[in-house]
Amino acid sequence: MAAVINDEVVAHTEGADEAKGDAAQDNEAEHVLLEGKVSMSKKDYVLQLTTSSLSLKADVDPGSSNKGSKSKDLTLPWTEILRAEPDQKSPAETRHHSLCLHYIHHHSEKTLRVKVANIVSKDYHAEEWINVIQKQCEKVPGRPKKVFILVNPIGGSKRGRQTCHKVVGPLFELAHVHTTVEVTERSKHALEIAENHDFSQYDGIVVVGGDGLYQEVLQGLIKQTQKRTGVNLDDPDAQLQPPDIPIGIVPAGTGNGVSGWCNGTIDVETSVLNIIRGERHKAMMYTIYSGSKFLCVCGLVFGYGMFGDMIQRTDELRWMGRARYAYCLFGSVVKKKRRFNCEIEVLQAEGGSSKDSDGKNASQKEELKWTKYDGTNKEFCGLSFFVVDKIDLGDRYVANYFGEQSMLSVDTGASNVGMLRTVFAVHSGKKNFPTVSNLDNFERVRGFKIKLTGQREETGDGASSSLAREKMLEQIVDIDGEALHFDGNDLEGRLHAHFLPVFGVYPAKVACPPQ
C-alpha cells in the first residue's frame, strides 16, 4: 500500500483548504458529538469529535501520564480523516477499546501522505468512536463515494496499471470509495468511453495517465453532454453545457501538466488524496474549430508552427520513449524554424473592475473585443496558447488553472532559446517575462481566429521530400502535447472559463472565487 504508516502524532500543518473550513458541515451549528479520554504511544489525550473536526489534545489532569513529557496536539477537519477501524494488532486485553485512525498529513507545502494513529479509549468501546467518525466522514462535502477509473497502460513509463494497483486502488479502498476500473486498449478508446458511457451512478471520473488521456476524456464528456442537452457543438459561439461529473487526474503519463496545475505537484499519492478530500474547482478549457466544424477540446496548451512541428517529431520517435522529448526540445533550439503566413484575430478582455471604499470589487466592467494582430505582413514561426491564468502574489505569479483567461505568445522570428525561456517563465511563475525580440505576449485572451495564407501548393510525385514534409506540417496542430491533423486553412478557438468541475486545490493562499 502507498500509505505511510506511523503512530507518531504530529501537529497538523495548515492546508490550503482549511480556509474553506468544512466550517459547519451541512450548515449545522458547531457542537460536540463525542468526547473522552484515550491513550496513545503511552501518553494520555482527550479525544473530541465535533461537527467540524476531530481533535486530540494532551490530557492536563494531575493524574495523567503526560507529566514531564511533551505531547503534541492534533486537530483535523473532517476532510482530512480517511477512516477509523478496529486495531486488530492491539493486545487482547485492550482490543475492544483500540482503534486505528487513518488521516491525511501535510508532509510538505504541496505533498500529502497518510498516517495512522493507534488509539486506546478509556471511556468508550472502540466501535462507539468508529461509528461517529465514519458517519462524519460520509458527510464530507464533495467526497466521492463511487468513482470510475480510466487507466492508460502504455503512457509514460508504462506503469499505469501498477500505479492503479499499488497506490490508487488501496487509497480509495482505505477511504471507503468504491471503484470501477477500465483499462484503455487502443488509441482514442478513452474518448469513446467518455462519450458513450453512462456515468450517472458515479461521483467522479479518475484519469490515471497523462495530459493526452485527460484530453480524450474531456473531449468525450463534452461531446456526450452537448448531445444530451441539444447544444450545437459546431457553433463556436454556442453556450456549451458543462459536464455534471468532476474529473480527478492522477499523474502517470509522459506529460503531467494538468495534474501539476490542479494539485500543485505531480505526486501520485497527493493527487489521489486530493480526490478523496473532495475539494473541487471549475477549470478552463478551449474548444477548437476548423472549417466551421468542431475539431477538439484543449485543456493545457495549443500550439501551431514551432510547437506543432516539435510534437509531430516526438510522435514519430515514440520508440525512444521519454528521451524523445529532450531530444526534440534540443533539436528545436538548434534547428532553423519553419515559417508560415497567417492572419490572426484575438478576443481579449478589456477594461477592469471598479472598487468600493474597502478596495473590494464592486462591479465587473470587462468587455470582450476582437482585435486584429498588427503583424499580418510578417512571417510567423509559432503560435502558442496556454490554458492558464495567473494570480499575482506580489513577488511572483502562480499558474491558475481555475481562472477565466489565457495567454498567447506570437513568434515572428524570435530566437529559439528566447521562445523556450518564455515558456519556462510561464511555468515557473516569474514576475516578468523575459524581453525577447520578435516575440509578442498577450494576456486576458478569451478566443482566437487564425487564417493561414500563402500555403504551399499541392506537391506531386517529383516534389522534394522536404517540401512534402512542410506541406504536411502545415496541417498539424499541437493539442495538449499530442499532434492532431486538421483540414482547411483556418483555426478558431473559444475559452470556456470556470467550466469544468475538477478535483484539486486552489493554487494560492488567496480567497477562492465563488463556484
Nearest-angstrom CA–CA distance, 252 and 262 = 14
Residue 1 in any domain: the answer is no
Q: Is the model's pLDDT at 27 over the cut of 50? A: no
pLDDT above 70: percentage of residues in the chain: 80
pLDDT band at 471 (very low <50, low <70, confident <90, very high): confident
Q: Look up the CATH number of the domain holding residue 497.
A: 2.60.200.40
Residue 57 in any domain: the answer is yes
| Predicted model pTM | 0.85
Over the stretch 481-498, which tens digit does the pLDDT of each residue have?
A: 888 999 889 999 999 999
Residue 118 in any domain: the answer is yes
Over the stretch 134-189, which tens digit does the pLDDT of each residue have?
A: 999 999 999 999 999 999 998 777 888 999 999 999 999 999 999 999 999 998 99
265/401 same-domain check:
no
Residue 129 in any domain: the answer is yes
132/233 same-domain check:
no
348/489 same-domain check:
yes
38/68 same-domain check:
yes
Query: For residue 189, with 0-12 CB atoms within 10 Å meaning exposed, 13-18 middle and 19 or more buried, which class applies?
Result: middle
Task: Identify the pLDDT of residue 4.
Answer: 34
Residue 142 corresponds to which amino acid? G
Site of grid cell 483556418: 490
Q: Is the model's pLDDT at 369 over the cut of 50? A: yes
Domain count, the chain: 3
Q: How far is CA 426 from CA 37, 331, 407, 422, in A?
A: 52, 21, 9, 6
390/435 same-domain check:
yes
252/388 same-domain check:
no
Q: Around Cβ 422, how many Cβ atoms within 10 Å?
A: 21
81/162 same-domain check:
no
Residue 7 in any domain: the answer is no
Q: Look up the CATH number of the domain holding residue 196.
A: 3.40.50.10330
Q: Is the model's pLDDT at 132 over the cut of 50? A: yes
Residue 285 in any domain: the answer is no
Domain end marker among 138, 154, 186: 138
Is the CA virtual torsion 219, 314, 165, 4 positive or negative?
Answer: negative
Domain limits at 255? 146-278
Task: Identify the pLDDT of residue 193.
Answer: 96
Query: For residue 92, with 0-12 CB atoms within 10 Å meaning exposed, 13-18 middle and 19 or more buried, which class applies?
Result: exposed
Domain end marker among 86, 104, 138: 138
pLDDT band at 437 (very low <50, low <70, confident <90, very high): confident
28/132 same-domain check:
yes
Residue 11 in any domain: the answer is no
Domain end marker among 278, 311, 346: 278
224/310 same-domain check:
no
Q: What is the DSSP string of 116-139?
A: EEEEEESSS-HHHHHHHHHHHHHT
336/419 same-domain check:
yes
Q: Look up the CATH number of the domain holding residue 42.
A: 2.30.29.30
Query: For residue 91, with 0-12 CB atoms within 10 Å meaning exposed, 13-18 middle and 19 or more buried, which class applies?
Result: exposed
Q: Which of 349, 365, 400 is nearest to 511 (CA)?
A: 400
Dihedral angle, C-alpha 89, 94, 100, 105, nearest 10 °:
-110
Residue 481 in any domain: the answer is yes
pLDDT band at 63 (very low <50, low <70, confident <90, very high): low
304/403 same-domain check:
yes
**In the structure, how many helices (H) and strands (E) does the chain have?**
11, 26
Q: CB of 175 within 8 A of CB of 114?
A: no
164/130 same-domain check:
no
pLDDT above 90: percentage of residues in the chain: 49
Mean pLDDT of the chain: 83
